[in-house]
Structure 1
Amino acid sequence: MRIGIANDVPIAAEALRRVLAASGEHQVAWIARTGVDAVRLCADLRPDLVLMDLEMPLLDGVEATRRIMANAPCAILVVTARPQDNVGQVFRALGAGALDVVATPVLLGQPGGEAELLAKIRTIGKLVAGRPAPVPAGVPHVAHLVAIGASTGGPAALARLFSLWQPPPDTAAVVVQHIDSSFAAQLVRWLGEQSPAKIAPIADGDHLEGGMVQVATTADHLRLAPGNRLRYDAEPRDEIHRPSIDIFFHSVARHWGRTAAGILLTGMGRDGAAGLFAMRAAGHTTIAQDEASSAVYGMPRAAAEMNAAQKILPLDNISKWLSDRIGGA
């Protein structure tokens, strides 16, 4: 990974540089001594990951994180001295878009600091799974993508969501709902009866369609493929959930280069949480349904616990957020 270091303490920045160099897995893209420099360098020389200190001159790590996520989104790991003594700042940085936090190895004062840092970096690297690719010119009318995952209680939640919000012409909405494939066609038909939104089943090879809600309808996994085509894939065959929300969200993180929102609705288990984390790491907005409005607070809880969801919202507020930020009826 190409990694930027934002730290104004020379000994700490040098320690981070040495850890990365010794790993043999990573390249230091740049070292920023102020938060202002970090924001500028992310825009000019976008790295795969930024190691962000909290205390820096001109602009602290919290505000630098907020500006980076607004202007040149990339994965951010807070690396700071004694994070347990700066809990308030740590949580503000996580709320601004940072993915995780770890103590600076040189100041940790105990063995294993380097290993912990590299383990965090490795985990983020797997979840990000590459930088989003540019959108091909063949589908310029789709500017936004809303990726939605749901399980237990999902059909009713989806019906409510699409009764309050319908995607505008420049926005595609794709739904992966855990349901037996023999009932998938009935789900599409029923959702169309419950809301004014245009609801359509997804056939293998379909393109994303603006102004449309497209629903996965087979027991195979749905993926967003290069060229903004929707493809079904039987692999991995040992995946419990079919179709898997995680697999679809990961494909969006990897292949979608414009603005996107990942939304994880009611459901049992943990499917979708890791994929939502990957979408967040790729710079997309991520939302989980809150406990009070969920029929089963399993998947959204998992997303909240791993800091995959930037926003935890009641179902109706998710519709409002979509209307306010993306548009549509």
Structure 2
Amino acid sequence: MLKIAIVNDSMIATESLRRVIVSVPEYELVWTACNGFEAVQRCSKRCPDIILMDLIMPEMDGVEATRRISAEYECAILVVTATVDGYTGKVFEAMGAGALDAVNTPVLGESGQGEGRDSLIRKIDTIATLLHSKPYRRRQSDSAAGHPKPVTSGVPLIAIGASTGGPSALKEVLQALPADLGAAVAIVQHIDEQFAASFTDWLDEHTPLPVLIAKPGDRFEPGTALVCGREDHLVFSANGTLDYTPEPRELAYRPSVDVFFNSLAENYVNQLVGVLLTGMGKDGAAGLKAMRERGWITLAQDKETCAVYGMPKAAKELDAATEILPLGNIGPHLAKWVEHASSRGKEKLKSG
């Protein structure tokens, strides 16, 4: 049984959520709370598998409750609020504090059916799968055998993967990079496709670099950050362009950091640094290991600064990271790496 709790100050919303939970045999409602403060107290006595967390509540809002619960307890948090689009900033704050995803509160009729019910159940089931997922292992058929020879790109690349807590961590890393950065940035953040555009706009507003959604056929450009904008997996192709693929379909992580990192390890031939930030689960660890085995620099966020120490922990256990750094040091470290990489590139041009 999947143990679920509801945190919401609206009796109508709480009842709608309760009706959804009791309608699914595999779900068990363990408790409800009317604000964040009460939720923190209840977690200390009985921590559920998943919390359905509202954002706007008295005494303690959902962002602060998410931050406190994520710091103390191992449970997944799904933001469920009246209008996700109306609280975009708060949603990404909550995701930065440790929430996994967000969905609108369902509006149910007398029959128990209605708008948003199926979407909520899909989100809950996806999170349940993530809680028990295994790391992605690239099949032999995924290897470079028989593939075209990779095309050389002249652009140094920073490739970043993140999940739970990722939005605020990404913002801090990107804020430390100069607007005239001599490298491209590519980001895979576990996020619902419907939020990809608003997430990209939010990052763009808070960082010096232009931040855009990656489109099929895009190439890496210095001084630009590209964000995976679909639930399909972002991949770098041997012809030097980006694309999306639904395969492998069985992965719970969509988009998958491992799939993207492995495609870079297979096809990217210029200077590259891989970065794995905060997140639940193990996605990205195997891909970071593949990058390290190719001789590239690989960084993982340290335990103390992670909202959820899952993905970086898996990377550490695989010995996938050349360095493990506090979040505040990662951006400056990358800026120095780019400066060094650009100098090396200029030296090569002169010698050539």
Equivalent in the alignment of 1:165: 177
CA–CA separation in structure 2 for the residues paired with 1:146 and 1:178:
18
CA–CA separation in structure 2 for the residues paired with 1:198 and 1:133:
31
Counterpart code for 1:214? L
Q: Greater shift after overlay, 312-321 or 299-308?
A: 312-321
Counterpart code for 2:305? S
Are 2:283 and 1:268 equivalent residues in the alignment? Answer: no
Alpha-carbon spacing, 1:322–1:247, altered in 2? closer, same or farther (3 Å):
same
- Of residues 278, 293, 304, the one that matches 1:292 is 304
> Could you tell me how far 1:197 is from its partner in structure 2?
1.3
> Could you tell me how far 1:136 is from its partner in structure 2?
3.2
CA–CA separation in structure 1 for the residues paired with 2:159 and 2:256:
13
> Could you tell me how far 1:168 is from its partner in structure 2?
4.5
8 Å contact kept, 1:134–1:258: no
Are 2:338 and 1:326 equivalent residues in the alignment? Answer: yes
Equivalent in the alignment of 1:212: 224
> Could you tell me how far 1:167 is from its partner in structure 2?
6.7
Alpha-carbon spacing, 1:167–1:232, altered in 2? closer, same or farther (3 Å):
farther
Q: Deviations over 1:244-281 (max 9, x none)?
A: 00000000000011110010000000000000000001
Q: Map residues 139-288 of structure 1 onto 2, 5 A cutoff.
A: 139-140=153-154, 142=155, 144-166=156-178, 168=180, 170-288=182-300
> Could you tell me how far 1:321 is from its partner in structure 2?
1.1
CA–CA separation in structure 2 for the residues paired with 1:210 and 1:230:
15
8 Å contact kept, 2:217–2:242: yes
Counterpart secondary structure, 1:317? helix
Alpha-carbon spacing, 1:168–1:280, altered in 2? closer, same or farther (3 Å):
farther
CA–CA separation in structure 1 for the residues paired with 2:149 and 2:173:
29
Matched residues, number: 203
8 Å contact kept, 1:168–1:327: no
> Could you tell me how far 1:284 is from its partner in structure 2?
0.8
Normalization by structure 2: what TM-score?
Answer: 0.54
Q: Deviations over 1:23-78 (max 9, x none)?
A: xxxxxxxxxxxxxxxxxxxxxxxxxxxxxxxxxxxxxxxxxxxxxxxxxxxxxxxx
RMSD over aligned CA atoms reads 2.6
Equivalent in the alignment of 1:23: none
Counterpart secondary structure, 1:207? coil
Counterpart secondary structure, 2:269? coil
CA–CA separation in structure 1 for the residues paired with 2:240 and 2:179:
17
Q: List alignment gaps of at least 5 residues for structure 1.
A: 1-122
CA–CA separation in structure 2 for the residues paired with 1:280 and 1:167:
28
> Could you tell me how far 1:130 is from its partner in structure 2?
4.9
Q: List alignment gaps of at least 5 residues for structure 2.
A: 1-136, 341-352
Equivalent in the alignment of 1:136: 151
Counterpart secondary structure, 1:278? helix
CA–CA separation in structure 2 for the residues paired with 1:133 and 1:262:
23
Alpha-carbon spacing, 1:259–1:153, altered in 2? closer, same or farther (3 Å):
same
Equivalent in the alignment of 1:82: none
Once the two structures are aligned, what percentage of the paired residues are identical? 43
CA–CA separation in structure 1 for the residues paired with 2:334 and 2:191:
25
Normalization by structure 1: what TM-score?
Answer: 0.58
Counterpart code for 1:136? V
8 Å contact kept, 1:167–1:173: no
8 Å contact kept, 1:149–1:176: yes
Counterpart code for 1:235? E
CA–CA separation in structure 2 for the residues paired with 1:311 and 1:167:
25
> Could you tell me how far 1:226 is from its partner in structure 2?
1.4
